[in-house]
Structure 1
């Protein structure tokens, strides 16, 4: 991935010297404590990406990428801890797992952060001929009543194709089909969704038919996939327009 600039933000691969700040930001966002860095065994295998505010020399966003040669390797990634990925094993061509995406609370509400992150991901996807991008989109909190509009909208419009849909693996699972009958309010649903999930869906992405409770992080994970060929050309072009 090249270092790319969009406005006052730059997206680039992190170096070893950047990792303490990245793990601290993840600790602050996922665990509520920057003094308790968030790191796991997958970090050593992953590429780490950061978005920084050049005007303040400040970390605004980070995420990691795990590059895999094909669908059969998805079982070795982070997402496969929560989902049975056997249906994706036959997926041909390079695939990419994105995880631990988080935005510095000081920058929340600035849409340019997410756009800059997608500029970097698009550059990596193009240069490595990635065919499928996936990961876990995380809702903060495990009380599903707080996310009911969003989950009802996912159930109604965004469940993935049966041939690729991950299987149940975890013990703490909520099937979308078992949700109470509810007509979602689209505005509330959009506000309840994590920004990253909204952008996946805007690009033509899809979700699993169930979500998983992660007690460790206090989140509700939803498998999210994006077939690169399904991205509308005008959307893809926007992420290739660097400044």
Structure 2
């Protein structure tokens, strides 16, 4: 089942549709979009760069979903999903490469990990995210997953000022270790910042917080992607009612 949205855009009316990305050609589309976003905006060091793709060992074990502009046929957003069964076969979730996840084995209920989420710069608006979230809701509903977890990134090109300023805000409202504690394998360097330094929260991280997600610890420095990754955990039955409509089929 797919969701269609027609978000307002001053340049053109867009018709966006979510889809499951199935098969090698669709996966390469997702990998190509990831490469353009991560390499172009973050100067990330990526496997598959020689083919203008972002490729890693997890892709083959994940489900991939995306958002397509029906007017142009272009894939404009994508994310990948790794469930607990696939993670068991792999021996780990992707997040465990960056964090020691104390309590993961004790979570009561199926777990789905979201990762490699990216949106074409020209489509970064609420409409695109809502379409992507709608398809994610279908996956959550079909699998009966109780927890959604993953990493949300903060750019580190400024040496970590933005990341530390954002973390000062997140610790006050969104830090929770009730279910799980995430300890970064590579903590960020400490900066002596005044408490009144303000930085904008990246759109994807902000979207998770609005849904009701919590952060489970301090961020991890991802040198390949030039970002600080914040581990987030969303318990399905604690979705924020105001934004639960984005997960309409999963509540």
Q: Find the residue that maps to 1:174 and give its secondary structure.
A: coil
**Residue 9 (structure 1) aligns with:** 16
Residues in 2 aligned to 1:26 and 1:99: alpha-carbon distance in whole angstroms: 11
Residues in 2 aligned to 1:23 and 1:79: alpha-carbon distance in whole angstroms: 19
**Residue 82 (structure 1) aligns with:** 98
| CA positional deviation for 1:105 | 1.9
Q: Find the residue that maps to 1:209 and give its secondary structure.
A: coil
Task: Output the TM-score relative to the length of structure 1.
Answer: 0.85
The structure 1 segments of at least 4 consecutive aligned residues displaced by more than 6 Å after TM superposition are 70-75
| Matching of residues 85-164 of structure 1 within 5 Å | 85-108=101-124, 110-141=125-156, 143-164=159-180
How many residues align structurally?
Answer: 231
Residues in 1 aligned to 2:35 and 2:245: alpha-carbon distance in whole angstroms: 34
Residues in 1 aligned to 2:228 and 2:131: alpha-carbon distance in whole angstroms: 26
**Among residues 157, 182, 186, which one is paired with 2:195 in the alignment?**
182
| Matching of residues 197-212 of structure 1 within 5 Å | 197-212=205-220
The one-character-per-residue Cα deviations of 1:146-177 (angstroms, maximum 9, x if unpaired) are: 33432210121111224412234x1x20389x
Task: Output the TM-score relative to the length of structure 2.
Answer: 0.82
For structure 2, the 5+ residue unaligned runs are 7-14, 44-48
Summarize the Cα distance change of 1:137–1:120 in structure 2 as closer, same or farther, 3 Å threshold: same
Summarize the Cα distance change of 1:74–1:217 in structure 2 as closer, same or farther, 3 Å threshold: same
Residues in 2 aligned to 1:144 and 1:161: alpha-carbon distance in whole angstroms: 24
Q: Find the residue that maps to 2:180 and give its secondary structure.
A: coil
Alignment pair present for 1:227 and 2:227: no
| CA positional deviation for 1:31 | 1.7
Contact kept, 8 Å, 1:97 with 1:135, in 2: the verdict is yes
**Among residues 18, 26, 43, which one is paired with 1:18 in the alignment?**
26
